[in-house]
Amino acid sequence: MSIEISRVTTAPAPRGSFLRANPSVLWFMGLLGLFTLGVTILSEGFGIGAISTNLVKILGMTLCLCLIAIAMDVVWGYCGILSLGHFAFFGLGGYAIGMWLMYARTEIVIRDSLGRGTIPPTELEVAEGVAAQIFGVVGSSELPLIWSFAGSLPFQLAMVVLVPGLLALVFGWLAFRSRVTGVYLSILTQAMTLALALYLFQNDTGLRGNNGLSGLQNIPGYQHVPQSVISMWFFWASAVALGAGYLLFAWVVSGKFGSVIRAIRDNEARVRFLGYNVEGYKLFVFTITAVISGIAGALYYPQAGIINPAEIAPIASIYLAVWVAIGGRGRLYGAVIGAASVSLLSSWLTGGGAPNIDLGLFRIVWTDWWLVFLGLGFVAVTLFFPKGMGGLFDYLVRKKP
């Protein structure tokens, strides 16, 4: 034993040993690749058609939820900031891409119908037509200022990253600079997402109020491509994003940076006396996870087809924390396991897929009882398995002293 330890002492891990030091990353990539391949082979668009396009969309959306879950795990499980507002960033990413999807598709439709007349339509006529089409539902025909560049895909893609990133940067700077921590910070993030949801619910915000943005599953310029194929494109994109996000975060938390943020989680005052600017680190982690959440949202909503302000209600972010807690905080694959299992179980039980249980005197209707079981499960995990489902892997892999 002493020989083993002294070897570690004199020869610390050599360079380029990231994957060797983190075997779970390779495992995760392998399983994600196999899963993607399996779904492709079984899909309607590219395979034998054993699983429906609708199910492909649900699986693709689940991958996006796994991506925001690992972001949540980094900010909460590693850095100790219990953010209950990360779904706000997810929703903003969705809105940013949704604006382009809706605008560009409506523009094609308007050009098509106006083009049938004898005189070709002017650009002004097209723009007015698009505005009337999109905003007729909220009783307006003016294009709001924030839609000025909605016709430009590169601009809206930049917004997917910039809007959540800047909001997180400004909010985080104000909150961390005042040294708001713990429960107070959680409440503050809840207030942020609630305020944003209420703001978006208003018709004059310019994002169609409670109607939200719809028809997002139709990709402008690809109207002829069936949904069975488009759903696979988004599924692949979601899988690539999850893989890349996993690699990025695994790298971020593996080195000295991970060491510092875990130290901040455990005793931030002590980290200050070591000379680290704790607020800067928190802001960095908060912002980068917000950006990844925005990207996850931008991939999720084209698969969901619709986004409205209810999506970023405070409860969504609380669910996110529940997924990560059930899956296991402080390990990235734990967050993936939690998000995937709980969200898939939820759509199975609430979607009528599960048979109701008749107990004679009493009937368990899953759509009603699901949340009760989720709540009980959460309490049970917190009390009996503080490491979550991911903690089970510790029994499989014997850890060295």
Partner 1 sequence: MSTLLEVSGVSVTFDGFRAINNLSIAIGEPELRAVIGPNGAGKTTFMDIVTGKTRPDTGKVLWGERSIDLLKLSESQIAKAGVGRKFQKPTVFEDQSVHDNLAMALKNKRGPFSVLIWKAAESDRARIVELAEEIGLSDRLAHRAGDLSHGQKQWLEIGMLLAQDPRLLLVDEPAAGMTPAEREHTTDLLKRAAKTRAVVVIEHDMEFIRRLECRVTVLHEGAVLAEGSLDHVTKNQQVIDVYLGR
- Residues at the site binding partner 1, with contacts judged by CB under 8 A: 2, 5-6, 8-10, 12, 15, 252, 255-257, 259-260, 262-263, 266-267, 269-270, 272-278, 280-281, 284, 400-401
Residue 392 per-residue DSSP state: G
In terms of CB distance, is 12 or 120 closer to partner 1? Answer: 12
CA 168 and chain centroid, separation: 15
Three-state DSSP class for residue 306: strand
**Least distance in angstroms from the C-beta of 261 to partner 1:** 9
**Least distance in angstroms from the C-beta of 336 to partner 1:** 22
Angstrom distances, CA of residue 61 to CA of 56, 226, 299, 329: 9, 18, 8, 22
Exposure on the CB side of residue 346, measured as CA atoms within 13 A: 19
**Least distance in angstroms from the C-beta of 159 to partner 1:** 25
**Least distance in angstroms from the C-beta of 7 to partner 1:** 10
**Helix (H), strand (E) at residue 232:** helix 227-254
Label residue 180 left, alpha or beta by phi (over 0 means left) and psi (-120 to 50 means alpha).
Answer: beta
Angle between helices 123-135 and 86-114 (to 10 degrees): 130
In terms of CB distance, is 55 or 252 closer to partner 1? Answer: 252
In terms of CB distance, is 80 or 129 closer to partner 1? Answer: 80
H helix count then E strand count, the chain: 15, 4
In terms of CB distance, is 145 or 274 closer to partner 1? Answer: 274
Beta-bridged to residue 364, according to DSSP, are: 357
**Least distance in angstroms from the C-beta of 254 to partner 1:** 11
**Least distance in angstroms from the C-beta of 163 to partner 1:** 22
In terms of CB distance, is 25 or 271 closer to partner 1? Answer: 271
In terms of CB distance, is 47 or 258 closer to partner 1? Answer: 258
Residues 6+ apart with CB under 8 A from 53: 43, 44, 45, 227, 228, 231
In terms of CB distance, is 160 or 263 closer to partner 1? Answer: 263
The tokens of 220 are what? 């402008």
**Least distance in angstroms from the C-beta of 275 to partner 1:** 4
**Least distance in angstroms from the C-beta of 292 to partner 1:** 15
Helix-, strand-, coil-residue percentages of the chain, each rounded to 5:
75, 0, 25
Residue in this structure with the two tokens 């495992």, named with its chain if needed: 27
- 377 by Cβ neighbours in 10 Å (0-12 / 13-18 / 19+) ranks as middle
Angle between helices 366-384 and 314-327 (to 10 degrees): 50
In terms of CB distance, is 12 or 139 closer to partner 1? Answer: 12
